[in-house]
């Protein structure tokens, strides 16, 4: 009796999974830097340096999060392992790490009671986990739009606000031999103005962003997948926003990321409100018809 032929197993490409693991590794390193900042919070310069490093590590992990999906599509190497690994990495990098960074900053500045800081940070991290679980359960393979704010975008919005806080405090973009245009502009503002903006504007904003972004992530507000939208455009048309994006990052990275995050989050909210008002206005007409 001849042996039964073996069913070939689908090979798992190493490159997309390696990029996903790099994403998770940067998230873990960001958490480590946030812990280091909290451990040496008495030294203001060291605290700000560690917190800034944690922020940039999370933003750099977003690049790997984009690349692993692109590489998986190019190599046609999708797998259940890769999908689960991507969700677990995103939960660490875009859920726990940003919440930890925000909580460390709020604890250092002593805005409110530590329990309030924890509740807001935990809400953000837990809603990231819930959103990723819902995303996997729904099994949307098109990825042209997201139902709810994507967790990398929510983390980017939160982290860019933390970086703006550090920029107004003079920790980044204004030190060194060649400060950025944002650093030069901030140096013109009187120091009491900058302190007031950080303590009475940006710091409460960071606290309120945690539950607000958490609710947006589990909402049904539609957000465009920018990478897919750019990939569907002609090469010449796609180069224009990419060039302007890179130019903005070069001239004033923190300010540009902060404004870009506000635009993306606000665009989805306005589009959702507009679509809701249009559907409600068309409802009576349909009933009459």
Residue 269 above 60 pLDDT? Answer: yes
Contact 131, 151 (CB under 8 A): yes
| Cβ within 8 Å of residue 272, ≥6 positions away | 221, 222
pLDDT digits (tens, 9 = 90+) for 145-204: 888 899 999 999 999 999 999 988 766 665 555 666 666 777 777 778 878 888 889 999
- What pTM was computed for the model? 0.86
Given this model, what pLDDT does residue 273 score?
A: 78
Q: How confident is the model at residue 13 (pLDDT cuts 50, 70, 90)?
A: low
Given this model, what pLDDT does residue 167 score?
A: 86
How far apart CA 236 and CA 28 sit, in angstroms, is 38
Residue 7 above 80 pLDDT? Answer: no
Query: Mind listing the domains of the chain with CATH numbers?
Result: 14-174+191-274 (1.20.120)
Nearest to 165 by CA among 113, 204, 115, 218: 204
Mean pLDDT of 27-49: 93
Given this model, what pLDDT does residue 183 score?
A: 67
Mean pLDDT of 60-80: 85
What SS3 state is found at 137?
Answer: helix
Q: How confident is the model at residue 232 (pLDDT cuts 50, 70, 90)?
A: low
Nearest to 95 by CA among 23, 184, 182, 195: 23
How far apart CA 90 and CA 118 sit, in angstroms, is 20
Given this model, what pLDDT does residue 199 score?
A: 87
Given this model, what pLDDT does residue 105 score?
A: 96
Given this model, what pLDDT does residue 286 score?
A: 47
């Amino acid at each position: 009796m001849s042996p039964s032929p073996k069913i070939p197993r689908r090979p798992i490409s190493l490159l997309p999974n390696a990029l996903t693991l790099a994403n998770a590794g940067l998230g873990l390193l960001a958490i480590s830097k946030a812990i280091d900042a909290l451990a040496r919070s008495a030294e203001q310069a060291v605290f700000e340096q560690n917190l800034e490093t944690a922020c940039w590590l999370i933003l750099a992990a977003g690049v790997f999060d984009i690349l692993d999906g692109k590489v998986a599509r190019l190599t046609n190497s999708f797998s259940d392992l890769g999908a689960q690994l991507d969700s677990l990495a995103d939960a660490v990098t875009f859920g726990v790490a940003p919440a930890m960074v925000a909580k460390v900053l709020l604890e250092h500045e002593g805005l409110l009671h530590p329990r309030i800081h924890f509740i807001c940070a935990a809400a953000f991290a837990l809603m990231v986990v819930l959103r990723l679980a819902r995303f996997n359960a729904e099994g949307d393979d098109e990825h042209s739009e997201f139902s709810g704010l994507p967790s990398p975008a929510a983390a980017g919005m939160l982290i860019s606000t933390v970086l703006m806080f550090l920029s107004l405090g003079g920790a980044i973009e204004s030190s060194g031999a060649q400060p950025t245009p944002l650093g030069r502009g901030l140096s013109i503002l009187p120091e009491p103005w900058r302190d007031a903006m950080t303590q009475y504007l940006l710091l409460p904003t960071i606290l309120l962003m945690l539950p607000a972004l958490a609710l947006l992530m589990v909402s049904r507000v539609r957000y465009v997948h920018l990478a897919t939208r750019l990939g569907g455009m002609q090469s010449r048309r796609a180069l224009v926003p990419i060039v302007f994006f890179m130019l903005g990052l070069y001239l004033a990275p923190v300010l540009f990321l902060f404004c870009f995050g506000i635009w993306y989050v606000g665009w989805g909210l306005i589009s959702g409100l507009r679509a809701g008002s249009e559907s409600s206005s068309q409802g009576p007409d349909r009933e009459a018809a």
